[in-house]
Every structure is written in structure tokens, then in C-alpha cells.
Amino acid sequence: MPERNSWAVGSDAHPLITTEDARVAVSALLVPGPSAVTARDGIRPGPATPGRVHAAGTANGSIVVEPFQGSIRASRGVGSYLVSLDSPKTLDVLAVPAAPANDRYDLVIAQQSDEFYLDTATKFEVRLVRGTASATPSDPVVDGSLDWFPLGRVRVTAGADKITDAMIDQLTPGWTVALGGLLPVGSAAERNALAAYPGQSVYRIDKGWTEVYDGAAWRVRGQVTAVALSDITDPYPGQLVVLAGTGGLYRWNGERWLYAALLSGSTPGGDWTITTNQPTSNSPTLLTFPQINRPPVGISLAGGVFTIGEPGWWDLSLNLRYGLGNIDKYAMIGGSSAGNLWAKDSTGGGGNNVSASTSKWLDKGATFRCYGYSGAANAVTKESADDLISGFTAVWRGP
């Protein structure tokens, strides 16, 4: 019948709990497996490296399996076996020497045998299943009970006289925890393979954050730091993410990521000054600013061309002093050329100083330039070593 005896029922004279009933009851306390009444195979998280397979020594033909506890789902009945290896176990791989010409693959497995299902014994064993040497080696067929999971693969190379860690592939089935526990997973692929239930939580070992399944997708709850926005596979409206490389804070609006703020602690901007007089005439002259007064952040200058590295609103200010004051003089800030000006101002008569400024939204990668212009041959000047005019300043106001 589909109903199972509950844990625990019966009497001293008439006990009702069978071994299968017991396994089913215990499985109800574990993370689900492929169905609502099965548990996930895996190793219980613990200190150090539970279930790790490694070489026994530098000149040794043996391997060691670290202690662990775990769950093996019964394939021929119901419920799960709770298994334990309570101390390190050594397995002698080269008790059968390596073949002289070909490699072989040996499997390390955790296997539960059960006489109830006609196995030859009832026991839990961590054992080595040896393969066959071949030019194209493959994993051996596991004999005995069908209830097992792999722990590792030893690639025994031709002529090997010792086993090293480089010859061992870790094949553990992943972690398992009590129902409602935070399950560690190593990747998005491992997470997606879960038979997830709404409210299930996982810890992404590869990302360092927690995700919750809401019945439709895995959501990264709260503000997290990510290498790329694409790391968040299913963002929810209002989710905040800080990019590790830039300190940029982004918010998901339901359709796309919007740049919200910069959290790097450094305000983007820069301050530059000319170092020698730069001649101008009645044709716009590209100005250069070799002297850096403030190390630039989020903006760069090369060959008179400024390039934006941090998108957002920028305040741009150009201040020029000319050598001759009795002719028209201009200060200009422009985009791709002097014909694409964003700001300009002029002065004539006896004035020597002229400034131009603007506030612009600039995307990452946008470029602009500063120009001088005078009605006749003139020069943008630097009157003393400590004089910061003529110069240009850029300050980032925000996204």
C-alpha cells in the first residue's frame, strides 16, 4: 500500500516499523531528491574536506579517503541510507600494478549493500573498483549493490610506481543538508540540477552569496557584489548589485540594469594645466594639458583627447589666460571636433581671461576636447610655475 507506517508506531508485542519505513521517515528530514518522497544523495557538510580522495604520500601507491557522513538513496526500495566513514580509510591502488603501456581508471565509491534486496551482505563500504588498462581507458562497471555514489577517480598512468594528487579526480556527489538547511552548491549548473521547492536556499560557493528559489527562478536576495551583472541569472525589480571591479552600484528595473551610484570611495574627475605657452590663431587650436594637478579617476587624457571611463553627469570647466588682451579670444569645449561645440565663451578689448563651462551626460567611452581661438596670433599662457591657469577641470556629479 502507498501509506507507510509512521515514525514511531506499534507496541512491544507488535512493532510495525520496517527498515524501509525507518528510511522513509528519516528521508523526510533531508533535502528532497528527484521526488517529494525521496532525499538527495550527497555528503553532509563539515569541517575540513569530508569525503575528499587524495594521495597517501609522495612515494606511495595508496590513496586516502577523508571521513564523512552522507545519504545514499535506495534504488531498489524507498528511503535513504544514512552512511558514515568515521576515520580516514587507506586504499592500495597499486596492489594491482600499473600496466606498462596503457592507462587505467579506478573508481573510489561509497556503496551500501543490503541482504533484503538479495545482496551478499548488509554493510556500508568505501571501496576501490579497478578498471582495465586501455589505450582509451574508461570508468569500470561497478559490481555488487546498485546503491552507491562515486567519491573519486584515480587515473593510473602506464608504468606508474606511485599515486599523486594530480592523478585523482574528485567525483563527490555534492552536499546534502537537513530540510530547510542552507545547501552549498558549486555552480549555477549544480543549482539548476536540484529538484527545488519554493523557499529552498542555497549557498553559491563559486559566488559567495545566498540564493532562494521562489517557485519560478533562483533569486539572489539583498545587495551583493558581483564580477559581472550577468552573474545574476534572474534579477528581481529593485535588486541592487555592486560591480567588484568598479564599485558601480546598479539597480534592476524589471527590464534592464540602471546605473545608480559609485561606491568605490573615489570621486571621478581630474584637473590639468598647461606647462608652456600654446600658440593660438583665428582657427580653433586643440589644447593639451601635460601637467596633472589631480590624478584622474574615471577619465583619461591622451593627445588632447579626454575619454570618459565613468558614465554619468560631468561638470566641465575650461579657464584660459591669453598673452594679448586687445583682440577677441575664445575658450571652447567640444565633442568630436571644433564644429561640434558643447560650450564656448569669448572676451575682447583689454581682457586676458576667458572661461567656458558646461554640464553633460556622458556615456562610457565618450570623448571631447578643449580649444583656444583668437582673432590674431596669440598664445594661451602659463605665467608662473605655480600658476594653474590656463587649465581644465572635470568633476563627476553622479549617474
**Domain of residue 45, residue span:** 19-170
- Give the integer Cα–Cα distance in Å for 345 and 394: 18
Going by the DSSP 8-state scheme, the letter that residue 56 receives in this structure is S
How does 139-170 read in b/e, with b if 16+ C-beta sit within 10 Å? ebeeebbebbbbbbbbbbbeebebbeeebbee
**Residue 10 belongs to a domain:** no
- pLDDT for the residue 7: 74
**Residue 330 belongs to a domain:** yes
- pLDDT for the residue 324: 83
Instruction: Could you list the beta-strand ranges (E) of 123-268.
Output: 123-129, 148-156, 168-170, 183-185, 201-204, 209-213, 218-220, 224-226, 240-243, 248-252, 257-262
Query: Is this model's pTM higher than 0.85 or not?
Result: no
- pLDDT for the residue 372: 95
- Give the integer Cα–Cα distance in Å for 199 and 176: 16
**Residue 3 belongs to a domain:** no
- pLDDT for the residue 266: 82
Task: Measure the CA dihedral 353/392/334/347, to 10°.
Answer: 0
Are 128 and 144 part of one and the same domain? yes
Are 39 and 139 part of one and the same domain? yes
Are 25 and 163 part of one and the same domain? yes
Are 163 and 52 part of one and the same domain? yes
Are 253 and 322 part of one and the same domain? no
Residue after which a domain boundary falls, among 235, 262, 289: 262
Residue after which a domain boundary falls, among 241, 262, 283: 262
Are 160 and 24 part of one and the same domain? yes
**Residue 299 belongs to a domain:** yes
Residue after which a domain boundary falls, among 120, 135, 170: 170
End-to-end C-alpha distance for the chain, whole angstroms = 65
Are 279 and 382 part of one and the same domain? yes
For the chain, 399 residues long, give each residue's pLDDT as a single digit of tens.
Answer: 477 777 777 777 777 788 888 898 889 999 999 988 899 999 999 999 999 999 998 779 999 999 999 999 999 988 999 999 999 999 999 999 999 999 999 999 999 999 999 999 999 999 999 999 999 999 999 999 999 999 999 999 999 999 999 999 999 999 999 999 999 999 999 999 999 999 999 999 999 999 999 999 999 988 999 999 999 999 999 999 999 988 889 999 999 999 888 888 888 999 999 999 999 999 999 999 999 998 899 999 999 999 999 999 999 999 999 988 788 999 999 998 888 999 999 988 778 999 999 999 999 999 999 999 998 999 999 888 778 889 999 999 988
CATH code of the domain covering residue 339: 2.60.120.40
What is the number of structural domains in the chain?
A: 3
- pLDDT for the residue 59: 79
- Give the integer Cα–Cα distance in Å for 143 and 140: 9
**Residue 175 belongs to a domain:** no
Are 189 and 110 part of one and the same domain? no
- pLDDT for the residue 196: 93
- pLDDT for the residue 381: 93
Are 242 and 381 part of one and the same domain? no
| CB of 178 closer than 8 Å to CB of 29 | yes
**Residue 207 belongs to a domain:** yes
Are 220 and 83 part of one and the same domain? no
Are 126 and 189 part of one and the same domain? no
- The residues that bridge with 127 in the sheet, in sequence order, are 109
| CB of 91 closer than 8 Å to CB of 54 | no
**Residue 7 belongs to a domain:** no
- The residues that bridge with 226 in the sheet, in sequence order, are 243
